[in-house]
Amino acid sequence: MFEPRMRRGWKMALSGGLQCCRRVLAWVPVLIIVLVVLWSYYAYVFELCLVTVLSPAEKVIYLIFYHAIFVFFTWTYWKSIFTLPQQPNQKFHLSYADKERYENEERPEVQKQMLVDMAKKLPVYTRTGSGAVRFCDRCHLIKPDRCHHCSVCAMCVLKMDHHCPWVNNCIGFSNYKFFLQFLAYSVLYCLYIATTVFSYFIKYWRGELPSVRSKFHVLFLLFVACMFFVSLVVLFGYHCWLVSRNKTTLEAFCTPVFTSGPEKNGFNLGFIKNIQQVFGDKKKFWLIPVGSSPGDGHSFPMRCMNESQNPLLANQEPWEDDDDNRDYPEGSSSLAVETET
């Protein structure tokens, strides 16, 4: 009698222990980045500027520009990590009565029709590949447009782009702007270090400076900055292309399906308006990591629908023409792991 209970208890304890270990290990990539950044700060400020650089004016200029970039770099990284993914609000969840009725119904075609009837009350215009209403059977909700379920975060995320292990967070509507800013300031951070360190790298290489402890830090600093710069500029360029087309990473790999059928440019409003969909229409906030993305993440303006069908466009000017409908090669990034299901 007690043996089955003990087995269940052991299984629950083991499952809980594995989940705890998984949550702890998920912070390892973030810890690696933090340690590299801390070392780069020490190597640049102390070993380069305070020890290697001899000119007082040059020291001051290097340190002022470095810390200005460093503040925005760390600020955007912090926001990317600790800005929680936004989930669909309650009106997209099935009520208790609807959930019971849906789960008790054994006929798939009736279940499908039930979801269609429920979706009529919601601003939902995208469908599955088969044309059915997009429903999450784990969160028990009808997915808003561009919303997907993240298997790592175990929840549905509004305008999900991808789950990034380097920030241990799901990138979506609430923090995509911060993630993009983080990439931009990371590229700038690496570029600034590489350009200011290069002349002293040459001096150490030619033996014009004494071989002291600072030599190792300066040489390795240039190598690390160049290595990260190459990988980050590729990732940043890819996301700039996504923003210019108003696509998420998931939508670049899998064309969204609307009620009228598949449309790869369904959310493409034109270059300027596409940028405003991420950064907002106030340019003074574009470089600062504060929330300025328009809307609530549940509904988005669409190219394939006119004003009468889409209330979000009622007070907006007509879309800009997009003459460039060429296909671009789509690739994956080594710094981002796709986990949407």
Report pLDDT digits (tens) over 133-150: 999 999 999 999 999 999
Count of all residues that appear for the chain in the document: 341
Q: Which of 268, 265, 223, 238 minimizes the C-alpha distance to 336?
A: 238
Q: Give the orientation angle of helix 108-119 with respect to helix 96-104, to 10 degrees.
A: 160
Helices (DSSP H) in 162-212: which residue ranges? 176-206
φ, ψ dihedrals at 134, nearest 5°: -75, 110
CA distance readout (Å), 216 to 40, 213, 223, 277: 12, 6, 11, 45
Residue 183, both tokens: 């990439």
**Which residues, 6+ apart, have CB-to-CB distance to 280 below 8 Å?**
286, 292, 293, 294
**Which residues, 6+ apart, have CB-to-CB distance to 27 below 8 Å?**
168
**pLDDT given for residue 6 in this prediction:** 61
**pLDDT given for residue 11 in this prediction:** 65
225 pairs with which residues across the strands?
Answer: none
**136: annotated active-site residue:** no
**Which residues, 6+ apart, have CB-to-CB distance to 249 below 8 Å?**
161, 162, 242, 336, 338
The separation between the first and the last C-alpha atoms of the chain, rounded to the nearest angstrom, is 40
**pLDDT given for residue 316 in this prediction:** 43
Cα distance between residue 301 and residue 278, in whole Å: 13
Cα distance between residue 313 and residue 50, in whole Å: 56
Cα distance between residue 268 and residue 168, in whole Å: 29
φ, ψ dihedrals at 150, nearest 5°: -95, 120
**Which residues, 6+ apart, have CB-to-CB distance to 274 below 8 Å?**
243, 244, 245, 246, 268
49, 164, 170, 190: which one is catalytic? Answer: 164
Structure letter (DSSP) for residue 209: S
pLDDT tens series, the chain, 341 aa:
456 666 666 666 666 678 889 889 999 999 999 999 999 999 999 999 999 999 999 999 999 999 999 999 999 999 999 999 999 999 999 999 999 999 999 899 999 999 999 999 999 999 999 999 999 999 999 999 999 999 999 999 999 999 999 999 999 999 999 999 999 999 999 999 999 999 999 988 888 888 678 889 999 999 999 999 999 999 999 999 999 999 999 999 999 999 889 999 999 999 999 999 999 999 999 999 999 999 999 999 998 654 434 544 444 443 343 433 333 333 333 333 334 44
pLDDT tens, 307-316?
A: 434 544 444 4
DSSP3 helix / strand / coil % (the chain, rounded to 5): 55, 10, 40
Cβ neighbours of 237 (radius 10 Å) = 12
